[in-house]
Amino acid sequence: MSRARSVLRAPGTGSLARPRRTLVAAGAAVAALACAALAGAAPGSAVAAGEPQILAAGIDATDRFVVSWRLEPETTFDFLEFSSIPIASPFIPGAFAGKNTVASVCVTPAEGCVAPPTLNAFRASEPVARDRRYFVKVNARRSGGGRRSSAVWVIDASKPQLTGGGRPAATPTNAPALGQPYVAPARRTIPAPRLTLVKRPRTIAALLRDGVRARVSCPRFVCYVVIGLKLGRATLVFSDATARGNERKTFVLRPRPAGRKRLNRRTRARLTVLADVMHPGGKRTQVSRRFSVRR
Examine the domain organization and report whether 97 and 234 are in the same domain: no
Q: How far apart are CA 58 and CA 28, in angstroms?
A: 16
Examine the domain organization and report whether 25 and 144 are in the same domain: yes
Examine the domain organization and report whether 177 and 192 are in the same domain: no
> What pLDDT, in 10s, does the model give residues 22-63?
343 344 444 444 444 444 444 444 455 789 999 999 999 999
Examine the domain organization and report whether 148 and 198 are in the same domain: no
Helices and strands (H, E) in the chain, number of each type: 4, 16
pLDDT at 145: 81
Q: Which residue has the higher pLDDT, 187 or 166?
A: 187
Of 159, 181, 203, the one marking the end of a domain is: 181
CB atoms within 10 A of CB 58: 23
Q: How far apart are CA 126 and CA 132, in angstroms?
A: 16
| Residue 36 and residue 61 in contact, taking contact as beta carbons nearer than 8 Å | no
Examine the domain organization and report whether 176 and 35 are in the same domain: yes
Examine the domain organization and report whether 46 and 124 are in the same domain: yes
| Residue 139 and residue 147 in contact, taking contact as beta carbons nearer than 8 Å | yes
**CA quadruple 23, 26, 27, 28: dihedral, nearest 10:** 130
CATH number at residue 254: 2.60.40.1940
Q: How far apart are CA 118 and CA 109, in angstroms?
A: 16
Examine the domain organization and report whether 248 and 232 are in the same domain: yes
CATH number at residue 172: 2.60.40.10
CB atoms within 10 A of CB 113: 18
How many separate domains does the chain show?
A: 2
Of 148, 181, 214, the one marking the end of a domain is: 181
Examine the domain organization and report whether 67 and 149 are in the same domain: yes
The angle subtended at Cα 234 by Cα 233 and Cα 235, nearest 5°, is: 120
Examine the domain organization and report whether 161 and 221 are in the same domain: no
Least confident of 95-104, 161-170, 208-217, 263-272: 161-170
Examine the domain organization and report whether 75 and 110 are in the same domain: yes
Cross-strand pairs, 65: 59
Examine the domain organization and report whether 279 and 164 are in the same domain: no
Examine the domain organization and report whether 87 and 151 are in the same domain: yes
Mapped onto helix, strand or coil, the DSSP state of residue 116 is: coil
> What's the pTM?
0.82
The range of the structural domain enclosing residue 272 comes to: 188-294
> What pLDDT, in 10s, does the model give residues 190-233?
999 999 999 899 999 999 999 999 999 999 999 999 999 999 99
With CA atoms as reference, report the closest residue to 112 among 3, 13, 15, 2: 15
